[in-house]
């Protein structure tokens, strides 16, 4: 449901968001926004998303680098698990600190800070003489990634025009997958060097996106919302005019931002009340938390990070011999993951969230179970190798087309504005902790119950995610945020497309 204004800016009319109708009273249609403004925002979104490449690259490159780190530094299996999995835990602290930092120094310079911290960590890891120094670099890299992943979507959302915000804010997810692919390619490209050098080059190459981020600081502007918060109104107006050349709309948007900025202190005052509501939720909010936090945890406990981090281990168990062949197989995984995330971006608003989640979770369950069977019964043969590669590629494809990107979409849609930031943070905590636990326990669990047995466990968890989607996740396609909130408050799906004024009044009263 959208809000339409008449030519005088007075009368408000309610209209569905999925309606094809457009303004006919002289108001500029946003869908026909200026091409140069759109290109400018596109460039800003791409540069801001470069920080997400750092996370993806680290995930991808570590899957291969860890083979040679183990050979060179003679680390134990437990140290290997900690080195791989600790990044998710550490990045959480960077993300939690990112909000206050970005309010203090600005979105743009927070991105710069993230790049500098990550670059320092990557260089320390590349030059590390032992495991302790390697972990110091890993700690810094995790902090930098946490800042970068947090600030990128915030900056893009604040710089983008309303009509294009959804597509532009999907860029970080795309760039994470691009980073994973680049990490896999880097593994393959440098695997031929000596074990003392190759993993250092692999990790050192991760500093290159940071260089491009430094260049981007001379291209992209500061967020207009942050400029207004700092009472730099004229600068904010200049930025808004670059993203939308309609002067009237710019002034309206500027007025909205000024009004929102005026409530910052009140929002901070109410923050404790928000946390009280989350810790002692009403039935409607409880259903929102179950859906939002549940989908975030299921995204990780089905083993996607273990599959990506330890794909060489999986393929080695399937029978592939030689490090170069192992890393070549992982490149296919990276290509598959990147292609299907692009497909998801095109389908999510056409097919809907829930159908894609069904396809994703059922497909992942099938592939994980098939991988468990393959590794348990058909290992060390050509058929087993082909089936293992097919199952791993299928798993990441189904993940990328559904639960991977959609969990972030859902958590941004289902919570009311007053709870959205804190509730989304809770979901992110669940996601990062789940990722870290899975990554840090995969090798130990595989040692106890075999790699194939571990994937049977992931398949069982994935089967539970199908039931969770059926029971707890509503369809939110084409529904306004108000309609979505009413669905959870009433504990029933909305059948009609329109949100009646009485529903809106009831909703406002409950808030």
Residues 6+ apart with CB under 8 A from 307: 314, 333, 392, 395, 396
Q: For residues 126 and 133, what is the distance between their CA atoms, to the nearest angstrom?
A: 10
Range 465-473 average pLDDT = 91
Residue 45 lies in a domain: yes
Rounded Cα distance between 331 and 229, Å, is 45
Q: What is the pTM of this model?
A: 0.71
Q: What is the pLDDT of residues 31-82, one digit of tens each?
A: 444 567 778 888 888 888 887 888 788 888 888 888 889 889 988 888 888 8
Does residue 9 belong to any structural domain of this protein? no
pLDDT of res. 281: 80
**Which structural domain range is residue 47 located in?**
35-220
Q: Which residue has the higher pLDDT, 234 or 9?
A: 234
Query: Domain containing 329 — which CATH number?
Result: 1.20.1250.20
> Band of the pLDDT at 365, cuts 50, 70, 90?
very high
Q: What is the mean pLDDT of residues 326-349?
A: 84
Ranges 43-57, 66-80, 387-401, 475-489: which has the least confidence: 475-489
pLDDT digits (tens, 9 = 90+) for 147-159: 887 777 778 777 8
149 and 280 fall within a common domain: no
Using DSSP, state whether 406 is helix, strand or coil.
helix
Mean pLDDT of the chain: 78
Same domain, 289 and 208: no
Domain end, chosen from 220, 252, 281, is at: 220
Write out 334-354 in H/E/C secondary structure.
HHHHHHHHHHHHHHCCCCCHH
pLDDT of residue 21: 43
| pLDDT, tens only, 87-103 | 888 888 887 777 778 87
**Higher local confidence (pLDDT), 508 or 472:** 472
Three-state SS across 31-95?
HHCCHHHHHHHHHHHHHHCHHHHHHHHHHHHHHHHHHHHHHHHCCCHHHHHHHHHHHHHHHHHHH
As a whole number, mean pLDDT of residues 128-156 equals 86
425 in the same domain as 298: yes
- For position 316, what pLDDT does the model report? 85
Residue 273 C-beta-side C-alpha neighbours within 13 Å: 7
Does the pLDDT at position 8 exceed 60? no
Q: Is the separation of the CB atoms in 63 and 308 below 8 Å? A: yes
Pair (306, 434) in one structural domain: yes
Domain boundary among 179, 199, 220: 220
Q: At what angle are helices 77-105 and 50-73 packed, to 10 degrees?
A: 150
Most confident of 133-147, 157-171, 279-293: 133-147
* The total number of residues written for the chain in this structure: 511
Q: How far from the centroid of its chain's Cα atoms is residue 302's Cα? A: 16
Please say whether the beta carbons of 169 and 47 come within 8 A.
no
Residue 435 falls inside a structural domain: yes
Q: Are residues 392 and 471 in the same domain?
A: yes
> Does residue 398 surpass a pLDDT of 90?
yes
Question: Is 91 within 8 Å of 146 (Cβ atoms)?
Answer: yes
Whether the pLDDT of residue 415 is over 70: the answer is: yes
Q: Please write the tens of the pLDDT for every residue from 243-282.
A: 776 777 778 777 777 776 665 545 554 556 667 777 788 8
Asked whether residue 192 falls in the same domain as residue 314, the answer is no
Element (H, E) at 490: helix 481-490
359: pLDDT strictly greater than 90: yes
In terms of domains, do 213 and 277 share one?
Answer: no
Q: What is the pLDDT of residues 200-253, one digit of tens each?
A: 999 988 888 777 777 887 888 888 888 888 888 888 888 888 877 677 777 877
Angstrom distance (rounded) from CA 321 to CA 312: 10
pLDDT band at 425; cut points 50, 70, 90 = low
- Are the beta carbons of 181 and 338 closer than 8 angstroms? yes
What SS3 class is residue 2?
strand
**pLDDT at res. 482:** 64
> Which among 469, 475, 403 is positioned nearest to 434, based on CA atoms?
403
Beta-carbon contacts of residue 422 (< 8 Å; ≥ 6 apart): 271, 274, 275, 278
**Quick check: is 511 in a domain?**
no
Mean pLDDT of 100-110: 84
> Which of 87-101, 298-312, 350-364 is predicted least confidently?
87-101
119 lies in a domain? Answer: yes
Residues 304 and 445 in one domain: yes
Nearest 5°: CA angle at 36, between 34 and 42? 105
Q: Is residue 327 one of the residues assigned to a domain?
A: yes
Is 494 within a domain? no
Does 216 share its domain with 340? no
Same-domain pairing of 159 and 307: no
Q: Does residue 398 share a domain with residue 479?
A: yes
What domain count does the chain have?
Answer: 2
Backbone angles phi, psi at 196, to 5 degrees: -80, -20
- 285 and 204 within one domain: no
More confident residue, 458 or 379: 458
Domain assignment present for residue 192? The answer is: yes
Alpha-helical runs (H) found in 244-352: 247-262, 264-279, 283-301, 304-309, 311-318, 323-347
């Amino acid at each position: 449901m959208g809000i339409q204004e008449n030519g005088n800016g007075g009368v408000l009319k309610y209209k569905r968001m999925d309606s094809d109708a457009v303004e006919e009273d002289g108001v500029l249609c946003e869908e026909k926004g200026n091409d140069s403004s759109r290109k400018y925002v596109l460039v800003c979104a791409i540069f801001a998303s470069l920080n997400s490449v750092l996370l993806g690259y680290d995930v991808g490159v570590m899957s291969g680098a860890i083979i040679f780190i183990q050979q060179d530094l003679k680390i134990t299996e437990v140290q290997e698990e900690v080195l791989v999995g600790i990044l998710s835990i550490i990045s959480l602290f960077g993300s939690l600190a990112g909000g206050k930092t970005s309010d203090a120094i600005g979105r743009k310079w927070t991105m710069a800070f993230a790049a500098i911290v990550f670059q320092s960590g990557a260089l320390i890891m590349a030059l590390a003489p032992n495991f302790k120094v390697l972990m110091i670099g890993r700690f810094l890299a995790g902090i930098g990634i946490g800042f970068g992943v947090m600030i990128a979507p915030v900056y893009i959302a604040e710089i983008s025009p309303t009509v294009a915000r959804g597509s532009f804010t999907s860029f970080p997810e795309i760039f994470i997958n691009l980073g994973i692919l680049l990490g896999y390619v880097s593994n393959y490209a440098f695997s031929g060097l000596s074990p003392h050098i190759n993993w250092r080059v692999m990790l050192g190459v991760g500093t290159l996106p940071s260089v491009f981020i430094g260049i981007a600081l001379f291209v992209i502007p500061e967020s207009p919302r942050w400029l207004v918060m700092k009472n730099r109104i004229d600068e904010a107006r200049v930025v808004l005019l670059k993203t939308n050349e309609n002067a009237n709309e710019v002034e309206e948007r500027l007025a909205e931002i000024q009004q929102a900025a005026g409530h910052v202190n009140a929002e901070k005052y109410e923050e404790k009340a928000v946390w009280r509501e989350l810790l002692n939720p009403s039935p409607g909010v409880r259903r929102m938390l179950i859906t939002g936090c549940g989908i975030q945890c299921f995204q990780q406990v089905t083993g996607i990070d273990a599959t990506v981090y330890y794909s060489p281990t999986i393929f080695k168990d399937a029978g592939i011999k030689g490090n170069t062949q192992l890393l070549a197989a992982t490149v296919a995984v990276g290509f598959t993951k990147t292609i299907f995330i692009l497909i998801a971006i095109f389908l999510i608003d056409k097919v809907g969230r829930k159908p894609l989640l069904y396809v994703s979770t059922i497909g992942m369950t099938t592939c994980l179970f098939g991988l468990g069977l393959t590794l348990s019964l058909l290992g060390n043969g050509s058929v087993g190798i082909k089936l293992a590669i097919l199952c791993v590629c299928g798993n990441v494809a189904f993940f990328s087309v559904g639960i991977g990107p959609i969990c972030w979409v859902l958590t941004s849609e289902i919570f009311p504005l007053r709870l959205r930031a804190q509730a989304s943070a809770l979901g992110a905590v669940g996601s990062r902790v789940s990722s870290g636990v899975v990554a840090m326990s995969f090798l130990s669990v595989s040692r106890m119950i075999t790699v194939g047995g571990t994937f049977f466990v992931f398949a069982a968890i994935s089967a539970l995610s199908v039931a969770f989607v059926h029971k707890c996740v509503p369809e939110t396609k084409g529904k306004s945020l108000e309609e979505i909130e009413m669905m959870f408050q009433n504990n029933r799906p909305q059948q009609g497309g329109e949100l009646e004024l009485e529903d809106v009044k009831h909703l406002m009263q409950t808030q």
